[in-house]
Amino acid sequence: MSTAVSKTNPGNFFEDFTLGQVLTHATPRTVTEGDRALYGAIYPTRFAVPSSAAFASSVGLNPQPVEDLIAFHVAFGKTVPDISLNAVANLGYAECRFLKPVAPGDTLSTSSEVIGLKQNSNGASGVVYVRSTAVNQHGETVLQWARWVMVHKRDRDAPAPETVLPDLAAVVDPADLVVPRGLSFSNYDLVAAGEPHRWGDYEVGERIDHVDGVTISDAEHMMATRLWQNTAKVHFNTQARPDGHRLVYGGHIISLARALSFNGLANAQLIGAINAGSHVAPAFAGDTVYAWSEVLDKAETPAPGVGAIRLRLVATKDRDETMTLRGEDGKYAPGVLLDLDLWAFIPV
């Protein structure tokens, strides 16, 4: 007769990862119109492409894709049970490229390759670098990204692996952005999209206060996080943390900030890449989240009428009209929750 826990997934510990190892993550997941509706119920998104099949078709996207971040969260969620169930911290993202839009009916599967390992000097944990790839039911890659997490060791006496640090780009080269096939902003309807601001209207260095705020509720962030089949206990179980609070999934803050950014960046319709991202501070129910953006760069693309804009998207607890990222000490200003660096496609 077997004992408790023997059949449940204990997750991987630092010494379970080896360089070059490929992990095929479980439970492929079919995206549906139900996901689109729930995304719109949980986040105040109004971007015209995922909102309107007619608008999407008018810019060459048929079938109508879901929000890019739905694909991101579904693909990312698959990796949690194998990569980060025993993670101390989610340290960073890089080279996240959106390679093909995802539409209802698409089934996503994710695999990850270990591309770097570094044991911490304390001997109790280490940093694992993986490159994850999500494919659809046709085997086409829809999303690829690198991330690194600090993971506990099961056994402090397990030998340290050779340190290998991957070479990751600080920013995705605009030449490597993949514009969705067929996308054209030549006949883009600015009125339907909600704002008149084009690529040429944004200056590098410009900051945009997105003005609106949303107070987080537990039911909403749990529902979103479950949708992505993210299994991390701290998001759902008040007994999993000493403070008795449910920790909001970092991806919830990403989606909230992206949705709030509509007000001022309504035409930044699609995400081309996430260059980097830091979850600076935890968030909890009752916190009111605001967002501001900084234009970091601009680039051209080969697609008709389509420009690329590089944005720093910052989420804060409470509104900071000064839009201060860091204090004089170089540390993140109080209230900063998220510092995300991304490329978006916008009509020129």
> Shortest approach of a second copy to residue 344 CB, angstroms?
14
Q: Which of 163/237 has CB closer to a second copy?
A: 237
Site stretch for a second copy (CB under 8 A), options 143-151, 247-255, 263-271, 330-338: 263-271
Asked whether 341 and 274 are in contact (CB, 8 A), the reply is yes
The minimum distance between CB 169 and a second copy, in angstroms, equals 27
- 109 counts as binding a second copy under rule CB under 8 A: yes
Asked if residue 279 binds a second copy (CB under 8 A), the reply is: no
101-109, 115-123, 272-280, 328-336 -> range binding a second copy (CB under 8 A): 101-109
In the complex with a second copy, which residue's Cβ is closer, 96 or 289? 289
Tokens of 292: 């501001």
The Cα-based distances of 131 to 93, 112, 192, 260, 263 in angstroms read 10, 5, 38, 29, 33
Kindly state whether residue 211 participates in binding a second copy, applying the rule CB under 8 A: yes
Least Å from the CB of residue 141 to a second copy? 16
How far apart CA 45 and CA 334 sit, in angstroms, is 26
Residue type, 328: E
Distance CA 298, CA 291 (A): 20
Burial letters 156-172, b for 16+ CB under 10 A, else e: eeeeebeeeebebeebb
Q: Of residues 155, 203, 243, 328, which one binds a second copy by CB under 8 A?
A: 203
Q: Which stretch binds a second copy (CB under 8 A): 49-57, 88-96, 117-125, 330-338?
A: 49-57
CB of 203 to a second copy, least distance (A): 7
81 near a second copy, judged by CB under 8 A: yes
Q: Does 175 bind a second copy (CB under 8 A)?
A: no
| Residues sharing a CB contact under 8 Å with residue 140, sequence separation 6 or more, in sequence order | 99, 100
- Nearer of residues 44 and 123 to a second copy, judged by Cβ: 44
191 is a contact residue toward a second copy (CB under 8 A): yes
User: Considering only residues 51-80, where is the footprint of a second copy by CB under 8 A?
Assistant: 51-55, 64
Q: Which residues in 289-328 contact a second copy (CB under 8 A)?
A: 292, 318-319, 321, 323
Residues 136-165 that bind a second copy (CB under 8 A): 137
Q: What is the largest CA-CA distance in the chain?
A: 70
Q: Phi and psi (nearest 5°) for 56?
A: -60, -45
Q: What angle do CA 69, 92, 116 make, to 5 degrees?
A: 115
Among 92, 104, 174, 282, binds a second copy (CB under 8 A): 104
CB-hemisphere CA count at 13 Å for 253? 31
Q: How far is the CB of 38 from a second copy (least distance, A)?
A: 5
Query: Which tokens hold the place of 76?
Result: 């990312």
Q: How far apart are CA 112 and CA 133, in angstroms?
A: 6
CA–CA separation, 83 and 60 (whole Å): 37
Q: How many residues bind a second copy (CB under 8 A)?
A: 90
Residue 258 binds to a second copy (criterion: CB under 8 A):
no
Please count the residues of the chain: 348
Among 229, 297, 304, 324, binds a second copy (CB under 8 A): 229
Name the segment binding a second copy (CB under 8 A); options: 157-165, 217-225, 302-310, 328-336.
Answer: 217-225
